Amino acid sequence: MGGAPLTVIGVLPTDFSGTQRGILVDLFVPEQVMFGALHLNSPADRGSSFEPIVRLKPGADLEAARRSMDQALRRVEAAGLAPGPERKALLISFTRPYLKPETNMGDIFPWIAALVLIIAAANFANLRLVENQVRRRETGIRLALGAGRASLFRQHLTESLMVAGVATGFGLLVADWLIELAPAVLYSGQRYSDYFIRLDARAFAFSAGAMLLVAVAGALIPMRDTWKCSIVPALQAVTAPSAKRWLAGLVVLQIGLITAFTDSAGLLWRSLYNVAAIRPAMDPDRNMLLIQGAWTGGRDVMVARIDGLAKDLNAVPGVEQAAYGRRVMMAGSGGGQRVAFEQPGQAPLTFRFNQVSPNYFAATGARVLSGRAFSEADGPDATPVVMVSATFAHKFFPDGGAVNAWARIDGKNRQVVGVVEDGPANDLKEDVEPFIYFPFAQQPSLDFTFFLHTVMDAGRVATPARERIRKSDSAFLPVDFLTLAQHLRAQRREEELAADVSGGLALVGIVLAAAGIFGVIHFAVRRRSREFGVRVALGATPSTLSRQVLREALRLAAAGVALGGVLCIAFLHLLRTYLYGVKPGSAATFVAAALAVTVVVLLAAAVPARRAAQADPIEALRVE
């Protein structure tokens, strides 16, 4: 492994993924192997490459542990062993690795699931209530024959539980199939983050609870209608006025919920579009293969041999240009490293940086706004030079004289030779900060990335590039091969997940609501078939009857959309954290959502409206 023989001494359980939750790890090695035979990192980086994992004593909390660790750090400083002054200990929970004041996507998904359950319960209640009205004569006959209301109550509950139970079993089968698809949906780059999606006891318990909720909610209103049912109206199959109100109210509730759902999904999709449009200080549409790895040979010949390897990779079929740099933008923790920028009479400032080859800007499409890019002449013995971002130039050289100016950076006076476009360094949505570029030859790094600009799909170049590296220079240890598109998709994974889940559940809600609306309107049209037949006999046209049904559907849609607007306002505080470049109360998105829901309502009412238009006076007058 990595040029070193390793002996396997143990096999871990399949459900143990490692010390970083959500990231699958295949191999665990002792510290001395990592820094020794494997050469995966430099011994000088030990302090920044490890995160201690501690188990707290019973009854201890995070705050007490932080105080103890701070005291330990002060003792280390007093002994003169600290790598830096006044360091602070950061202690975070292993179960929640990123403690933020705002909610995260894991907090909002239960609310989304709850809304879908409410839509399902309302839909189920509506359909059961419709069935109850259709069976009203049967209920009257049973009551007349001496059936007790408690018996009818148990019948409704049993029927609801049977329907919900069968549907839940079918849903679990669908869930098992969807879990098999999860890796494809959650896949980003060549790294699959395990979200621990399992059909375990907790999932079954939640499903059983949801089934009971929907079944009971779907049975309560019909059971109430049955409990208050009188024998004579039931035998006459007269629809109860309260049933009509409940049917309309539940339809309005469903329309309101799917309006809020659709609006939220639209906001999240617009946010994803805005995040995807961010330019990361390079051309995001360029076909590019990123080869991340580390140098395991000697430092004295490193730059020359890396440059030679870049020339070898440039000869791979399909590669137009090969460049290299310490890191790719938004590569993670590597962007946390900083260098000091000193100004006379002021405390030093620190900024993120990168070390790149002379052709890095041409290969990645990063725009040089003024001055020049690095050249082969900017070697280790040449004048120290840097390139700075536009924000750096505007902040410290507001007169536009950044090019050819001198700045003291990382303890040396260096000449600014060019200004580069701005871009996020660690996170797509972060505020743009000043950024510095060094020539790789003047600031070499053991860890670096090759940037292969290709004339074809970059993924097709990975195999020949891997083979060329294996044959050309064994001192470079490649760790990861991924395309620029995969890398950028990994950076917007949370936004994609939010948009996909909310959009998918909004679609489920729309289908459920459309089925409920269709059932209610279809039932109402059937109940009014005699009325429609009489109206046709008196001269009403089919289009008149059809428009009347559609107008009633539109009235329900208007009330539901108004309710949806109120719900959207209530959801603003939940969505505000996840949106980028979109106002939570966007009128355009709400209008689009309202129109979409209205169209769905009209489509659901189209078939019943057509049935009303085809009313036959002769058949209608025969209806008892």
The pLDDT of residue 322 is 94
d(CA 549, CA 553): 6
Model confidence at 194: pLDDT above 70: no
The pLDDT of residue 450 is 95
More confident residue, 100 or 540: 540
State both tokens at 429.
């949505």
d(CA 541, CA 150): 47
Mean pLDDT, the chain, rounded, equals 80
Do the Cβ atoms of 599 and 258 come closer than 8 Å?
no
Q: For residue 99, with 0-12 CB atoms within 10 Å meaning exposed, 13-18 middle and 19 or more buried, which class applies?
A: exposed
For residue range 41-69, what is the model confidence (pLDDT) as tens digits?
A: 544 444 445 667 788 888 888 888 888 88
E strand residue ranges, 203-348: 288-295, 319-325, 338-342
More confident residue, 114 or 370: 370
For residue 393, the tally of other CB atoms under 10 A from its CB is 25
| Mean per-residue pLDDT, 223-238 | 58
d(CA 123, CA 258): 12
> Of the candidates 10, 87, 91, which has an alpha carbon nearest to the alpha carbon of residue 53?
91
> Of the candidates 275, 109, 298, 279, which has an alpha carbon nearest to the alpha carbon of residue 206?
109
State both tokens at 271.
């946010």
Do the Cβ atoms of 46 and 35 come closer than 8 Å?
yes
The pLDDT of residue 103 is 41
Model confidence at 111: pLDDT above 90: no
The pLDDT of residue 453 is 95
The pLDDT of residue 446 is 85
More confident residue, 471 or 181: 471
For residue range 501-519, what is the model confidence (pLDDT) as tens digits?
A: 888 888 888 888 888 788 7
| Mean per-residue pLDDT, 483-490 | 87
State both tokens at 471.
């044959």
Which region among 93-97, 302-306, 594-598 has the lowest average model confidence (pLDDT)? 93-97
> Of the candidates 505, 338, 301, 370, which has an alpha carbon nearest to the alpha carbon of residue 436?
338
For residue range 133-163, what is the model confidence (pLDDT) as tens digits?
A: 666 677 677 777 776 767 777 777 788 888 8
| Mean per-residue pLDDT, 29-40 | 65
End-to-end CA distance of the chain: 85
Which region among 332-336, 544-548, 618-622 has the lowest average model confidence (pLDDT)? 332-336
The pLDDT of residue 331 is 75
More confident residue, 406 or 29: 406
The pLDDT of residue 123 is 79
Q: Which three-class secondary structure state does DSSP give residue 478?
A: strand
- Residue 323's beta-bridge partner residues? 451
For residue range 370-426, what is the model confidence (pLDDT) as tens digits?
A: 999 999 999 889 999 999 999 999 999 988 789 999 999 988 999 999 999 999 888
Counting residues of the chain whose pLDDT is more than 70, the rounded percentage is 81
More confident residue, 434 or 199: 434
- Residue 355's beta-bridge partner residues? 438
Most confident region among 26-40, 159-173, 208-222 by mean pLDDT: 159-173
Q: What interhelical angle do 105-134 and 201-227 show, nearest 10?
A: 30
d(CA 38, CA 477): 10
